[in-house]
Amino acid sequence: MVAASESVLQLNGLGKIRRNEQGKEVPVLRDVDLTLQAGRITVVIGPSGGGKSTLVRLLNRLEEPSSGQVLLNGQDVRHYDPLQLRRQVALVAQKPFVFNGTVLHNLQRPFAFQGHTLPTEDDPQLLELLTLCQLSTDWLQRDARSLSVGQQQRLCLARSLVTGPKVLLLDEPTSALDRPTVTRLADSLREVCYKRRLAMLLVTHDLHLAKIIADQLAYLEDGRILEQGLPAELFARPRSIALQSFLALPAGMQD
């Protein structure tokens, strides 16, 4: 673990109200405080529908919070140019979306979007990143959509990292993966996080993943963070009844 990390992304009293199908206003997130630090992985666990995906989408401003603020390096994200913000705060969505074309094409897209020269097939940084994300360097010319879901997910991860963001947000990165693949992905994530000193936020209902990867853990239910702290403490001594019962559910039933 890295000691004395500086805070990169700070969430202050973040709230989100959404209109449901009947037109009624429903709070999805209430008063969320959280701090992401460089070189540390923060995991938010909680049941589905508890507001986890919404939380992630507020942080790179895919959506606007109803209350509270998000600070990136001490400055409100609303003061950033959206392009610059999203180049620093990367998000990997729950369902991996790969662009039509080869793996290489997918990895080049962020450079094209951001107006940089495209890396070539033998770019050392590109190859290093592929290895880090456990993707074979022989796959660069493969059709990205022919990869398995797990591989596509790792490709999306590599694609988000290729232009060097400071913050990485991951929404349920393991929802489609089996246990051994989850463990391998967790290894990749740890290495990426520590090597690049990324501030990483991962939201999931996968307790196994949370256990093996979290430096800091928070429990989100019904839009509220009920507990947060070191994972060992939370797993050993959950204070709230909600977290106690969430942890008591048999593996795979937390969804």
Residues of this chain that interact with another protein (CB under 8 A) are: 60-64, 78, 82-83, 86-87, 90-93, 95, 97, 99, 109-110, 112-114, 156, 159-160, 163
Q: How far is the CB of 203 from another protein (least distance, A)?
A: 15
The DSSP output letter for 141 is G
What is residue 116's DSSP assignment? Answer: P
Query: In angstroms, how far is CA 235 from the centroid of its own chain?
Result: 21
> By C-beta, is 81 or 138 nearer to another protein?
81
| Type of residue numbered 165 | P
Please identify, using beta-carbon distances, which residue of 93 and 192 lies nearer to another protein. 93
Q: How many CB atoms lie within 10 A of CB 78?
A: 12
Q: How far is it, in rounded angstroms, from Cα 221 to Cα 98? A: 31
Query: What is the closest distance, in whole angstroms, from the C-beta atom of residue 132 to another protein in the complex?
Result: 18
Q: How far is the CB of 32 from another protein (least distance, A)?
A: 19
* Least distance in angstroms from the C-beta of 108 to another protein: 11
- Radius of gyration from C-alpha coordinates of the chain: 18
CB of 130 to another protein, least distance (A): 17
Q: Please say which residue, 88 or 254, places its beta carbon nearer to another protein.
A: 88
Residue 77 — φ and ψ, nearest 5°?
-60, -20
At residue 158, the 3 state secondary structure works out as helix
The strand pair at 216-221 and 224-229 is best described as antiparallel
Shortest distance, CB of residue 244 to another protein, whole angstroms? 35
Closest CA to 36 of 167, 157, 161: 167
Asked if 205 and 47 count as a contact pair (C-beta separation under 8 A), the reply is yes
Closer to another protein by CB, 53 or 228: give it: 53
| 124-132 and 179-196 helices, crossing angle to 10° | 140
Residue closer to another protein by CB (options 61, 210) is: 61
For another protein, the closer CB: 13 or 82: 82
Which of residues 99 and 139 has its CB atom nearest to another protein in the complex?
A: 99
Least Å distance, CB 110 to another protein, is: 4
Question: Which helix (H) or strand (E) is 29 found in, with range?
Answer: strand 25-37
